[in-house]
Structure 1
Amino acid sequence: MTSPSPRQTLFPPGARIKLVNGRFADVAAGQFYPTSTSLVIQDGKIAAMPGMHGEPDDTPAEFVINLQGKSVIPGLFNTHAHIQIISGMMDKGELRQRQIAKNLSDCLERGITHVRDTLCWDLAQNREIKDKISRGDLAGPRLHQAIHVSPVGGTYAPKRTFMKRTLFSFLGLPLVPYSSPGSGAVVFRKGASPQEVRDAVDRAIFERGAEMIKFCDQPEHFMSYKPGAVVMTWPPLEAAADQARKRGIPTTIHNVTAEGFRQSLRAGVDSLAHLPIDQELTGEDLALFAASHTSIEPTLTVGFYYCWSMIGNPWRDHPEIQRLDGFRDSVYEKVLEESWLPEVRPGYRAQRDGLHQGSMKIYGLIDLSGPFQYFASIQPVGGKNFERIYAAGGRERCACGNDATVSACSQAAIHLEMELFDFSLNRDGNHVFSGADALRTASIQSARALGLDKLYGSIEAGKVADLAVMDGDPFEDFHCVGSPVAALFMDGRLVVDHCGL
């Protein structure tokens, strides 16, 4: 597990730290800066990059660190994850806390300095974790909290019936009253006026501390995935997106329908999470996306977890499901070993075995196979939509999120998401996804999706000194992106050091 590096304490406030003999990545250009470039850190930011234009480097510094010729990339992002929702894990005590601590520590070990939590029903849980990280009691990245704004009865704002509260509590997810400042969901009544919707957005921002506003277009209920959930229709979506924009807060939407895709683009939602899986997008849809500024987080790892050639899956014999089965079989055990504590892995293996039989029941009572049947079209329909979105401008606007830990991996497993980009796009003789694309996706494009690109996401003077040091060339090999790092600077502090810097 990551522990603070002793070098953290060696840099007094205001000291200038010069990094030399490194290959610094210019993510926008898709290449390294000239080898003569060094980098000066002061007060947590990149103060200068002398030698970038071949000029002599005589910049004074109190400390000089030799990077041993290694590659240096900006700190990476996971733009779509969940800290508390751990699929397949019922434990609410010490084991759960150890798993969460491992997940966050592993993020630093893989160069991930930002994780956005896109849904937490009890904000006290994540606030405690953020406090521990800020105090140094827990190793982890920066956490950014999205607040869900929804009509009551929506997919992720269910009516708080006794059965719902009991089920959520059983899963370790307290369903806090929506009126409480501690709830991660702010609701408004069905048929609410535009002003009521705007007021809900303001409560999310000023009362709950939203760093992003999240919506949902899914017409099915959470857990059961049966129809009947209240959806975010056009009038409230337009009002909510506009209000967030006026407040300077970015927006995202859980998007699984083609109609939701269209409405979100027209409303100017900043990022789309997931992919439309109900039908293929039209040429007009793709033109609408191309003309927008909207980012997309395809979260291909969701398909990795939910698409199986299981009994009861109407897409069971589709060639894309068969192809995914082959890929998953080759990496599934490795993903489990990387992501989960030994005590947790058997649960995921049991899930896999149950899915092959067409069901998944907790303690033989609660059937959770519904989402696996509902999301079965992610690969055959969503995958095709992803290819077309990528070609219509998504290459420059994809962000990196993996829906951890709803999917069977941790927040640190963005390397699997990049492997799934390769699996989905580099096929049939095409090679449209490169190492440079992977690096941009997980850095500057993700920073832009979160509205953080002025300070993070690239190596430039004036930006925060989040720097991942690694062996290998990320421009040549996309597998480098999200792989274990040799060292990591965060806010200019050396927080991981496996190479004796």
Structure 2
Amino acid sequence: MNFDDTGLALTHVTVIDVVGGRSLPDQTVLVADGAITAVGPASQVVIPPGATVHDLRGRYVIPGLTDMHVHSEPGPDDERRLPALYIANGVTMVREMWGRPLLHEWRRRTSAGEMIGPRSIIASPIVDGAPALWSDIPIDAPIISVTTEREARRAVGVAKDGGADFVKVYSRLEPEPYFALLAEAAAQDMTVVGHRCDRVPLRDQLGAGQRSFEHVHGLWPATSTDVERMEAAMARISPRPGFYYADWFKQVNEVEWESVNRYSGASATSLFERMVAEDVAYCPTLVMHAAVDLPEWMRLDDERFAYMAPDVPDMWTFVRGQIFHGGGRSADEEAKRRTLFDHRRAAVAAMDEAGVRLLAGTDAVTPGLFPGFALHEELELLVSAGLTRMRALQTATIEPARFLGREQTCGSVDPGKLADLVVVDADPLADIRNTRRIHAVVAAGRYIGPDERRALLDGVAALTATAPGVEGA
């Protein structure tokens, strides 16, 4: 992405300092060569000759946002759709959780300035056991299924040779391949992240080398009054063929419900303290759980479908019926799901209170989630769970930077950092929903003002409106 060679000056803004946890009013932020060169009081910062000045008095600057759990599933026109939606929503970096070759091409083209898009951290293909949960449906995404220690070690080499930034492990790995993979990844200096493994007690996975865990549904057995019994129930899950993932999901839900009804505050506290001690991060993806647990969350009349591919509403309807709702939920089941969602939020608050490093992620493009937009919903859910507005912002800015080892180059509005910024019209520390009120985005030093941002969104909508098969196209 090409930056403005003449430099930028964002004047009279309030800078949200996510490292110091404070607001800095009436600041000037200088940008040149894709980096922040100065931040200070507007009365003291000297604007270089030739710089493009944007008077932003009354507005607020936050670091560019990071979504730490996305699945960009490239389809027709998606290279013009998904990256633009992220940038228009102030998401300037994403962690892609299912690697595939085209994502590496997108990253190359973005870095070369050939397309607008976020910086990306890209996973390996999913590494799962056998049968792999997504192996019996037609999807254009690579899966590595391993059943032996040798295969697990080889999977790490495949990931590294393919240019992956980290190894993504999935739910059905057996203990021996799982631990062999972690040992090989450590030897090859590869980070491992992903799901908890059904067959390995969660406490045994902490400290074994996996650096982050995703979603809240694997948490509950380890927080119960009878950890050993509930972990054994988790290990007995055996997906049946036909649609492995859907059957697995139903069985996980059953273990979830029993575990939650045996919840132990002492077990949870012990688990979260272990996470802190082992410096393990957690990416709860509450917005994904909202889409799964709360029937009203997924609305097929949402105006944001204007930015999605034409076949998305039908796909969402299918997934909601066959996976989320398992062919239909009774009133009792709906009540259980709402209770589970309340427990998920409470667990996230407890993790935050214990000092667990939380990472904001969405699981977009899970049905019910709109890429880019969903991260703002995740921030709102984190605040509703009990995080302060500053902590919520940190989970999408400085905490991802620290987790990725990039805190010296991104994650905050400081001199020397990459110029990835979001200008909003109102204070996000007064109301986290104000992160949605985007005035402008600075992506790799390029200023995308209101008109260009609107044009990005309009261009994505035009892709949908003119897609083959759309009435009037």
TM-score range, shorter chain: 0.7 to 0.9
Q: Which of 431, 434, 447 is equivalent to 1:494?
A: 447
Q: Give the alignment of 1:218-229 within 5 angstroms.
A: 218-219=171-172
In structure 1, what residue type is equivalent to 2:121? H
Structure 1 unmatched ranges of 5 or more: 86-95, 159-163, 176-183, 220-230, 308-323, 361-371, 426-431
Q: CA deviation at 1:284?
A: 2.6
Q: How does the TM-score come out when normalised to structure 2?
A: 0.73
CA RMSD after TM alignment: 3.5
200 and 345 in structure 1: CA distance in 2 versus 1, 3 angstrom threshold: closer
Distance 2:325 2:123 in 1: 36
8 Å CA contact retained: 1:258, 1:280: no
8 Å CA contact retained: 1:27, 1:444: yes
8 Å CA contact retained: 1:74, 1:466: yes
2:375 equivalent to 1:414: yes
Deviation sequence 1:28-87 (CA, Å, 0-9, x none) = 22222242x3222222111222448x8x333534304123212111111111111118xx
In structure 2, what residue type is equivalent to 1:40? L
Distance 2:93 2:399 in 1: 13
Distance 2:354 2:306 in 1: 34
Q: Give the alignment of 1:98-113 within 5 angstroms.
A: 98=77, 101-113=80-92
Deviation sequence 1:286-328 (CA, Å, 0-9, x none) = 2211322111100112212222xxxxxxxxxxxxxxxx456x3
Counterpart of 2:456 in structure 1 is: none
Q: Which of 348, 353, 367 is equivalent to 1:391?
A: 353
- Structure 1 runs of 4+ aligned residues shifted over 6 Å read 353-357, 374-377
The alignment of Structure 1 onto Structure 2 pairs a total of residues equal to 400
359 and 465 in structure 1: CA distance in 2 versus 1, 3 angstrom threshold: same
8 Å CA contact retained: 2:15, 2:60: yes
Distance 2:149 2:199 in 1: 24
Structure 2 unmatched ranges of 5 or more: 224-266, 329-333, 454-473
Q: Give the alignment of 1:83-94 within 5 angstroms.
A: 83-84=72-73
Counterpart of 2:54 in structure 1 is: 66
150 and 340 in structure 1: CA distance in 2 versus 1, 3 angstrom threshold: closer
8 Å CA contact retained: 1:250, 1:450: no
2:93 equivalent to 1:114: yes
Q: CA deviation at 1:467?
A: 1.0
Distance 1:493 1:259 in 2: 46
Q: Which of 244, 248, 251 is equivalent to 2:185?
A: 244
Q: CA deviation at 1:191?
A: 3.3
Distance 2:338 2:202 in 1: 19
Q: CA deviation at 1:400?
A: 1.1
8 Å CA contact retained: 1:486, 1:499: no
Counterpart of 1:89 in structure 2 is: none
198 and 191 in structure 1: CA distance in 2 versus 1, 3 angstrom threshold: closer
Percent of aligned positions with the same letter in both sequences? 22
Q: Give the alignment of 1:335-354 within 5 angstroms.
A: 337=305, 340-341=308-309, 344-349=312-317
Counterpart of 1:310 in structure 2 is: none
Q: Give the alignment of 1:259-298 within 5 angstroms.
A: 259-275=200-216, 276-279=218-221, 281=223, 282=267, 283-298=269-284
Q: CA deviation at 1:110?
A: 0.9
8 Å CA contact retained: 1:107, 1:113: yes
- Which structure: greater helix fraction? 2
In structure 2, what residue type is equivalent to 1:270? R
Q: CA deviation at 1:126?
A: 2.3
354 and 336 in structure 1: CA distance in 2 versus 1, 3 angstrom threshold: farther
Distance 1:485 1:284 in 2: 40
Counterpart of 1:202 in structure 2 is: 157
Distance 1:271 1:449 in 2: 9
339 and 267 in structure 1: CA distance in 2 versus 1, 3 angstrom threshold: farther
2:5 equivalent to 1:18: no
Q: How does the TM-score come out when normalised to structure 1?
A: 0.69
Distance 2:279 2:304 in 1: 36
Q: Give the alignment of 1:20-169 within 5 angstroms.
A: 20-35=11-26, 37-51=27-41, 56-58=44-46, 60-69=48-57, 70-84=59-73, 96-98=75-77, 101-120=80-99, 123-134=100-111, 136=113, 138-148=115-125, 150=127, 152-153=129-130, 155=132, 158=135, 164=136, 167-168=137-138
In structure 2, what residue type is equivalent to 1:486? H
Distance 1:399 1:495 in 2: 26
Q: CA deviation at 1:405?
A: 0.9
Distance 2:149 2:21 in 1: 48
- SS at the partner of 1:459? coil
In structure 2, what residue type is equivalent to 1:390? D
Counterpart of 2:149 in structure 1 is: 192
8 Å CA contact retained: 1:252, 1:269: yes
Q: CA deviation at 1:496?
A: 4.4
Distance 1:335 1:390 in 2: 34
